[in-house]
Chains A and B, each alone.
Chain A
Amino acid sequence: MTQNADHVLDHFDLFRGPEYQEMLANKRKMFENQRDPAEVERMREYAKTEEYKEKNFAREALTVNPAKACQPLGAVFVAVGFEKTIPFVHGSQGCVAYYRSHFSRHFKEPTSCVSSSMTEDAAVFGGLNNMIDGLANTYNMYKPAMIAVSTTCMAEVIGDDLNAFIKTSKEKGSVPAEFDVPFAHTPAFVGSHITGYDNAMKGILWHFWDGKAGTAEKLERKPNNSINFLGGFDGYTVGNLREIKRIFSEMGIEYTILGDNSDVWDTPTDGEFRMYDGGTTIAEVEAAVNAKATISMQEYCTEKTLPLIAEHGQEVVAFNHPISVKATDNFLMTVAKIAGVEIPESLAKERGRLVDAIADSSAHIHGKKFAIYGDPDLCYGLAEFLLELGAEPTTVLATNGGKDWEKKMKALFDSSPFGKNCKVYPGKDLWHLRSLLFTDPVDFLIGNTYGKYLERDTGTPLIRIGFPIFDRHHKHRYPVWGYQGGMNVLVQILDKIFDTIDLATNMPAKTDYSFDIIR
């Protein structure tokens, strides 16, 4: 018996004990009808080959380990960024349980969201009654300032009309007529969570700016000097938005962050649960129509939102998740130009510090090969940064990346000598990437938590940058935007590089001549 009270063994130690090992081996041998270990080994080796890769890439129907989620997740992300707003997802309730869990596992924070709990009868008769009751209950229980509606597959497939349903619900007194219920159809069989972000954000702006679904006057734009900021779907939203606020204040820019979820996903433990915290207010959203311009940090998260804003006469600019020095330079100069302000000396100094850090450490990164996967803008920003560090983003993959993104990535590769051997893979999944890591090996992999399976199978060290990160804590608190963000990314990459060298050189009398104390 290995378990003991003085030193309680956890699962990772407990099951390594001889009695468990014997038991498990016996189970396998006697009852599982297991495959011949030699055959398993043969297949494992075969899955590393060029031939297997070709078969794998010939897949037309099956998706294995994709790096994307569904639209309503993005809609929930948007909704919680507005003051006292509760996301209401019209459709079946299981999906909502999943979105809430997903965000909570990443941010280690509660995520409040309700569902209209449609079941079989709603599949037959439509979900109108669920909407009517649901809005009334949510309104009474959670006293929101706004309820932001989106849809699950179910409501989309049966064709529920949100605009009409919300109108009817108001007529039936679910919520007061003037209460704000912006909405967006977010079919999960189109696009991904970033599409959902786009649709939901657009839905909210359309609601407030364009006459509240035909129930109010459209807002008339009275241009001012303010700038709107859209972060896009971002696992680092807590750290990033705070960093952006700091930078904008430093620059003396008047700004509105549209969808500021940095507080609601970072509430204190002080004895009180805050279902709502911070967020863009309705007054701010309304005033945002008057802004001079809107900046999107992630082009592919705002493909429909920006045109809507542009229609209102604002200048719109989209970036691709800037991380590199050059990208942040460009971001700051663009913003400064639009706002008519100077970039303060303090930011020039921050820039200098990042360049200084790169100069100090780039020898360790230079020439290293990386595979990156994630959302399209994040991939772009990371690849751009790696090129700047003299590294090669050899393999860049986005399951939710499209043709435009592919073109853009190629242009980026062409712009740098380090991009020569780099390839982009739109629409592919992590099983494709597994093949690539065998046939075209790289030194490091950058991706979310699920990359750990690739690390295990291919031996490629994983640097965890992306969404979701479930198995490391608090990463979302550190920005990856601005020069300070670039610094954080640099340090994270370096840490992994040094750890990997140390691991390879710590065998006494074998490799430890290189176990250097200074690197």
Chain B
Amino acid sequence: MSVANNESVADIKARNKELIQEVLKVYPEKTAKRRAKHLNVHESGKSDCGVKSNIKSIPGVMTIRGCAYAGSKGVVWGPIKDMIHISHGPVGCGQYSWASRRNYYIGTTGIDTFVTMQFTSDFQEKDIVFGGDKKLAKIMDEIEDLFPLNNGITVQSECPIGLIGDDIEAVSKAKSKEFNGKTIVPVRCEGFRGVSQSLGHHIANDAVRDYVFDKLDPNKAPLFEPSPYDVAIIGDYNIGGDAWSSRILLEEMGLRVIAQWSGDGSLAELENTPKAKLNVLHCYRSMNYISRHMEEKFGIPWCEYNFFGPSKIAESLRKIASFFDDKIKEGAERVIAKYQPLMDAVIAKYRPRLEGKKVMLYVGGLRPRHVIGAYEDLGMEVVGTGYEFAHNDDYQRTAQHYVKDGTLIYDDVTGYEFEKFVEKVQPDLVGSGIKEKYVFQKMGVPFRQMHSWDYSGPYHGYDGFAIFARDMDMAINAPVWKMAKAPWKDDSQSKLLAAE
């Protein structure tokens, strides 16, 4: 399908540059100037992708981004399963994000576990006018009464909170004292802060530092005896079970996972983490802050890893093992060898069906680079990629370790740009979010949601790669894409008929 098949890199670059210029024409001048800085064609050898990032979205252009609340409640805090996360403010934000992120967990929901529930202060006009602090205090009382087995509470601020001058810190402090030192975490993740989900990640990380780590009781008896092989998984949200299919590999190589941040995580695991010997970090964007903090404060090194596709998994297992002794290094080799036959079988089955297929991505802060290796393991090529809320360090990692010369790069892409890019580049697959999915499917382009795994997954780890490969094949080779054009309107077919 791709038009780029026989093009040289130079051709591709020229075409992509032209494409960017063409797309920019739609904007008023001022907007075109601003958007131009976010679009580029990657030049190999450069240290970053040559785009500006983490800058305010332009009004009215249909950005795909969300907000800080989404970054804190939706990403970082929401999956901590034994705490109750109050969406503090009016009803909407919590309602739309209710259970939609597929953070898998084990627990009795509503009794000792609360992830797929929507707790909200459901602000009314009087709360806006007179402030919501009293209501918040009462909400905490009611939570204690009705959900006594919760292990803590967080307050996830929605836009109005920061605008009406509420003091959620004071309420949290007072209630924590009243409830015998219960962990109560006020989070200032109002949606207007920052420019995307990203600041919400940072604020949420800081809240873990201030309200979990800084309040640790040094005299508290440890839950477990430390071992030299203790690690914590940081930045895996267990979408469709991703953290589980990752954890199993770490344990099989001889490590002991003492905490998961934050998919299927618990408050105890957050508290355990300072005892880790190494923090292994999957989503750098959303949890690098707390990893750096733990390095400074507790001297815990951290190591980024990538569990998408066998090449990156093997590389990552070895990298993680390099922090430990030979026992673990051998463990890593053993794990890689153990799964080799499965990987060979998966690739033998799916690579022939996917070889040479072109992919365009647009995801959050990590996957636009992290999944590239998995596609390449299947013989596919990523020809365009971009981030909703990356910073320059993400684009550096992208440029230095992932993308090819000539790749089209789009930061905080607008609905219009993305559509036009896909229309012209004609990839065989687009990977992005729910808001984009149906746009491209209407155009007849196969699509997979790369936030929610399109309700599939896990995609992490060896077990996940089998599912990933199957899903990509299923998307691209589904018979439905041959039916998009009615036969009497399909030029190629009608010509064939005429010739007969």
Chain A residues within 8 Å of B, Cβ to Cβ: 1-6, 8-11, 14-15, 19-20, 23-24, 27-28, 30-35, 39-40, 43-44, 47, 52, 55-56, 59-66, 68-73, 88, 91-95, 97-102, 104-105, 108-120, 122-123, 130-131, 133-138, 140-142, 152-154, 157-158, 187-190, 192, 267-274, 431, 434, 450, 453, 457, 470
Most buried by B among A99, A154, A272: A154
- B400 close to chain A: CB less than 8 A: no
Q: Which 4 A-B pairs have the closest CB atoms?
A: A94-B67, A70-B92, A134-B59, A134-B60
Which residues from chain A contact B268 at a C-beta distance below 8 Å? 31-33
Distance in angstroms between the alpha carbons of A131 and B58 in the assembled complex:
11
Contact A457–B124 (Cβ < 8 Å):
no
- Please, could you name 7 A-B residue pairs with CB atoms under 8 Å apart, sorted by A? A14-B467, A33-B223, A64-B117, A66-B91, A93-B57, A94-B191, A112-B62
Most buried by A among B82, B89, B146: B146
Known: A8-B467, A104-B437, A113-B62. A94 touches B70 (CB 8 A): yes
Contact B342–A63 (Cβ < 8 Å):
no
Which residues from chain A contact B307 at a C-beta distance below 8 Å? none
Known: A93-B63, A102-B96, A153-B160. A11 touches B457 (CB 8 A): yes
Contact B159–A92 (Cβ < 8 Å):
yes
Contact A11–B96 (Cβ < 8 Å):
no
Flag the segment in B243-251, B286-294, B317-325, B402-410 that touches A. Answer: B243-251
Count of chain B residues with Cβ under 8 Å from any Cβ of A? Answer: 129
- B170 close to chain A: CB less than 8 A: no
B442-478 at interface with A (beta carbon < 8 Å): 442-444, 456-458, 462-463, 466-467, 469-470
Distance in angstroms between the alpha carbons of A450 and B480 in the assembled complex:
31
Most buried by B among A30, A61, A122, A140: A61
Contact A116–B59 (Cβ < 8 Å):
yes
Which residues from chain A contact B99 at a C-beta distance below 8 Å? 450
Contact of B223 among A31, A61, A137 (CB under 8 A): A31
Flag the segment in B37-45, B207-215, B344-352, B379-387 that touches A. Answer: B344-352
Most buried by B among A8, A59, A267, A270: A8
Flag the segment in B11-19, B100-108, B173-181, B326-334 that touches A. Answer: B100-108
Which residues from chain A contact B467 at a C-beta distance below 8 Å? 8-11, 14
> In angstroms, how far is the closest chain A Cβ from the Cβ of B188?
12
Number of A-B contacts (CB under 8 A): 348
Q: Given A94-B197, A154-B160, A453-B116, 8 other A-B contacts at CB below 8 A?
A: A11-B456, A117-B60, A118-B192, A123-B192, A140-B27, A141-B61, A188-B91, A457-B110
Which residues from chain B contact A98 at a C-beta distance below 8 Å? 66, 70, 92-93, 96-97
- B111 close to chain A: CB less than 8 A: yes
Contact B98–A450 (Cβ < 8 Å):
yes
Contact of B151 among A33, A105, A133 (CB under 8 A): A33
- B266 close to chain A: CB less than 8 A: yes
Which residues from chain A contact B136 at a C-beta distance below 8 Å? 61
Flag the segment in B298-306, B366-374, B390-398, B412-420 that touches A. Answer: B412-420
Most buried by A among B96, B264, B416: B96
Most buried by A among B27, B142, B223: B142
Distance in angstroms between the alpha carbons of A154 and B93 in the assembled complex:
12
Contact A157–B67 (Cβ < 8 Å):
no
- B169 close to chain A: CB less than 8 A: no
Most buried by A among B26, B28, B191, B441: B191
Contact B62–A20 (Cβ < 8 Å):
no
Interface string of B136-157 (1 = CB under 8 A from A): 1011001101101101000000
Contact of B163 among A44, A69, A99, A158 (CB under 8 A): A158
> In angstroms, how far is the closest chain B Cβ from the Cβ of A266?
11
Contact B91–A157 (Cβ < 8 Å):
no
Which residues from chain B contact A112 at a C-beta distance below 8 Å? 62, 415
By beta carbon, the residue of chain A nearest B458 is: A11
By beta carbon, the residue of chain A nearest B58 is: A137
Contact B191–A101 (Cβ < 8 Å):
no
Contact of A1 among B128, B142, B342, B486 (CB under 8 A): B342
By beta carbon, the residue of chain B nearest A268 is: B442
Contact B120–A5 (Cβ < 8 Å):
no
Contact A23–B70 (Cβ < 8 Å):
no
Which residues from chain B contact A109 at a C-beta distance below 8 Å? 438
Contact A44–B108 (Cβ < 8 Å):
yes
Which residues from chain A contact B64 at a C-beta distance below 8 Å? 97
Interface string of B112-144 (1 = CB under 8 A from A): 100011111111110110000001101100110
Contact A30–B224 (Cβ < 8 Å):
yes
Contact B146–A55 (Cβ < 8 Å):
yes
Distance in angstroms between the alpha carbons of A137 and B33 in the assembled complex:
13
> In angstroms, how far is the closest chain A Cβ from the Cβ of B352?
13
- B21 close to chain A: CB less than 8 A: no
Which residues from chain B contact A118 at a C-beta distance below 8 Å? 59, 192
Contact A43–B112 (Cβ < 8 Å):
yes
> In angstroms, how far is the closest chain B Cβ from the Cβ of A1?
6
Chain B residues within 8 Å of A, Cβ to Cβ: 26-28, 30-31, 56-70, 82, 89-93, 95-100, 104, 106, 108-112, 116-125, 127-128, 135-136, 138-139, 142-143, 145-146, 148-149, 151, 158-160, 162-164, 191-195, 197, 223-224, 240-241, 244-245, 247-248, 251, 257-260, 264, 266-269, 272, 338-339, 342, 345-346, 348-349, 414-416, 419, 433-444, 456-458, 462-463, 466-467, 469-470, 480, 484-486
Which residues from chain A contact B457 at a C-beta distance below 8 Å? 11
Contact A117–B56 (Cβ < 8 Å):
yes
Distance in angstroms between the alpha carbons of A181 and B163 in the assembled complex:
27
Contact B59–A31 (Cβ < 8 Å):
no
Contact B135–A61 (Cβ < 8 Å):
yes
> In angstroms, how far is the closest chain A Cβ from the Cβ of B342?
6
Contact B145–A138 (Cβ < 8 Å):
no
> In angstroms, how far is the closest chain B Cβ from the Cβ of A269?
5
Contact A133–B95 (Cβ < 8 Å):
no
By beta carbon, the residue of chain B nearest A61 is: B138
Which residues from chain A contact B112 at a C-beta distance below 8 Å? 34-35, 40, 43
Contact A273–B419 (Cβ < 8 Å):
yes
Contact A115–B63 (Cβ < 8 Å):
yes
Contact B159–A157 (Cβ < 8 Å):
yes
Contact B31–A47 (Cβ < 8 Å):
no
Distance in angstroms between the alpha carbons of A156 and B342 in the assembled complex:
56
Which residues from chain A contact B28 at a C-beta distance below 8 Å? 136-137, 140
By beta carbon, the residue of chain B nearest A173 is: B28
Contact A114–B119 (Cβ < 8 Å):
no
By beta carbon, the residue of chain B nearest A196 is: B92
Which residues from chain A contact B257 at a C-beta distance below 8 Å? 27, 31
Known: A34-B112, A95-B67, A270-B484. A62 touches B128 (CB 8 A): no
Which residues from chain A contact B240 at a C-beta distance below 8 Å? 11
Which residues from chain B contact A91 at a C-beta distance below 8 Å? 159
Contact A40–B31 (Cβ < 8 Å):
no
Known: A140-B27, A192-B91, A273-B439. A101 touches B466 (CB 8 A): no
By beta carbon, the residue of chain A nearest B417 is: A141
> In angstroms, how far is the closest chain B Cβ from the Cβ of A304?
16
Distance in angstroms between the alpha carbons of A92 and B161 in the assembled complex:
13
Known: A40-B108, A93-B66. A189 touches B191 (CB 8 A): no
Distance in angstroms between the alpha carbons of A119 and B120 in the assembled complex:
23
Distance in angstroms between the alpha carbons of A97 and B98 in the assembled complex:
14
Which residues from chain B contact A270 at a C-beta distance below 8 Å? 442, 444, 484-486
Distance in angstroms between the alpha carbons of A9 and B346 in the assembled complex:
12
Contact A269–B125 (Cβ < 8 Å):
no
Contact B342–A3 (Cβ < 8 Å):
yes
Contact A101–B108 (Cβ < 8 Å):
no
Which residues from chain A contact B164 at a C-beta distance below 8 Å? 157
Contact of A269 among B195, B444, B469 (CB under 8 A): B444
Contact B92–A141 (Cβ < 8 Å):
no
Known: A137-B28, A154-B192. A23 touches B248 (CB 8 A): yes
Distance in angstroms between the alpha carbons of A69 and B87 in the assembled complex:
13
Distance in angstroms between the alpha carbons of A87 and B138 in the assembled complex:
37
Distance in angstroms between the alpha carbons of A133 and B58 in the assembled complex:
8
Contact of A119 among B62, B195, B416 (CB under 8 A): B195
